Amino acid sequence: MIEVRGLTFTYSGTDTPALQGIDLSIPEGQLCAVVGANGAGKSTLCYALTGFVPHFFHGEMHGQVSVGGRTVATTALADLAGEIGLVFQNPFSQISGARYTVREEIAFGLENLGIPRAEMPERIGEAVELTGLSGLEERSPYALSGGQQQRLAIASMIVMRPRILVLDEPTSQLDPAGSKEVFAALRALAAGRNTTVVLVEHKLEWVAAFADRVVVLAGGRLIADGPPAQVLAAADLEQHGVGRTRYTLAARQAQARRLRPPSADLPVTLDQAREFFR
């Protein structure tokens, strides 16, 4: 579904590539998390997968990104809309400012795609349901809390039923309950609708619980790629500015103090930790 080959991108006016030699292939229906320190290239990768690089953010690009068989660099952004959705890091930057209610804001993208009116209520209802915005449909988008605005930005994208949804830190403003709802909604999209989901996320316990796959970026390069349990337990994550769950930290300290055998696999989730420390 997503094919990235030898992607290197340097923003105009800078000398250092934001991404270097990225190879990545993401199949349909996969939920892929991207982790890494701030400045590692995570947002740039989001832009490259959705065509904002190079169409909106200019620079020097080498290699190729194709989505559903179409080369992103040679396809107009307007032709990618509807097929690929991007939820930005800052939800405030995503609200159109042109609509008065949450319902109208969610419908905005559908109108632009020319979806028949008769089809809208069902689609909007589903997006509202999935993002937990029920009851807020008639509120002004600006009267919502940061977390609610973030969910509105996600609802405005999923209502278009894109085949690929890319989200840059979609839970940064959300409390744990709200974050869990968003992850569960994304999981449901990937599993139920076969949507390919790529998300940048710092909350590693959720990544471990919900993602099929984790990609680690550091200094613009892809340095690890695999199942969460394997990638997040790897020995060299810290030097790349990626955090650990407390389960992993406690297990490593227990090994260092010879309370657990050094050979045992490090836990990433609560269930794995319970086995490790049992």
Partner 1 sequence: MNLRLEDVSFTYPSGVTALEHVSLTVREGEAVALVGENGAGKTTLAKHLNGLLRPTHGGVWVGDQDTRRHSVARLARSVAFVFQNPDEQLFERTVRAEVGFGPRNFGAGPAEIEARVQAALSRLELQDFADRHPYDLHLSQRKRVAMAAALAMDTPILVLDEPTIGQDAGGVALVGGLVESLKAEGRTLVAITHDVDFCAEHFERVVVMADGRLLADGPAGEVLAQGDLLAEAAVEQPQLVRLAAALGWRETPLTVEAFVDLLAARRKDGT
Among 7, 33, 250, 266, binds partner 1 (CB under 8 A): 250
Size of the site for partner 1 (CB under 8 A): 40
Does residue number 146 form part of the binding site for partner 1 (CB under 8 A)? yes
CA 53 remoteness from chain centre: 16
What Rg value do the Cα atoms of the chain yield, rounded? Answer: 20
- C-alpha span between 103 and 121 (Å, rounded): 9
Among 38, 74, 134, 263, binds partner 1 (CB under 8 A): 38
36 DSSP 8-state letter: -
89 is a site residue for partner 1 (CB under 8 A): yes
Smallest separation (angstroms) from partner 1 to the CB of 266: 13
Tokens representing 28? 């349909």
- 28 and 196 Cβ atoms separated by less than 8 Å: yes
Only segment of 32-40, 75-83, 99-107, 191-199 that touches partner 1 (CB under 8 A)? 32-40
Q: How far is the CB of 258 from partner 1 (least distance, A)?
A: 10
Stretch of 121-129, 134-142, 191-199, 248-256 contacting partner 1, by CB under 8 A: 248-256
- Is residue 233 a contact residue for partner 1 (CB under 8 A)? no
Residue 50, amino acid: T
Distances from the Cα of 266 to the Cαs of 31, 32, 201, 274, 275, in angstroms? 23, 21, 21, 11, 10
Query: Which one of residues 175, 188, 227, 236 is an interface residue with partner 1 (CB under 8 A)?
Result: 175
Q: How many residues does the chain have?
A: 278
The answer to whether 66 and 74 have CB atoms below 8 angstroms apart is: no
Tell me the per-residue interface mask from 92 to 111 with partner 1, x by CB under 8 A, - otherwise. Answer: x-------------------
Nearest approach in angstroms of CB 84 to partner 1 is: 23
Query: Would you count residue 58 as binding partner 1 (CB under 8 A)?
Result: no
**Which residue's CB is nearer to partner 1, number 30 or number 173?**
173
Answer for the pair 162, 84: CB distance below 8 angstroms, yes or no. Answer: yes
Q: Tell me how far, at minimum, the Cβ of 159 lies from partner 1, in Å.
A: 22
- Sequence-distant (6+) residues with CB within 8 A of 80 are 50, 51, 67, 70, 72
C-alpha distance from residue 125 to each of 103, 104, 132, 206 (Å): 9, 12, 10, 26
The residues of the shown chain that bind partner 1, judged by CB under 8 A, are: 36-39, 89-90, 92, 145-148, 169, 172-178, 202, 205, 238, 241-247, 249-250, 253-254, 257, 259, 270, 273-274, 277-278
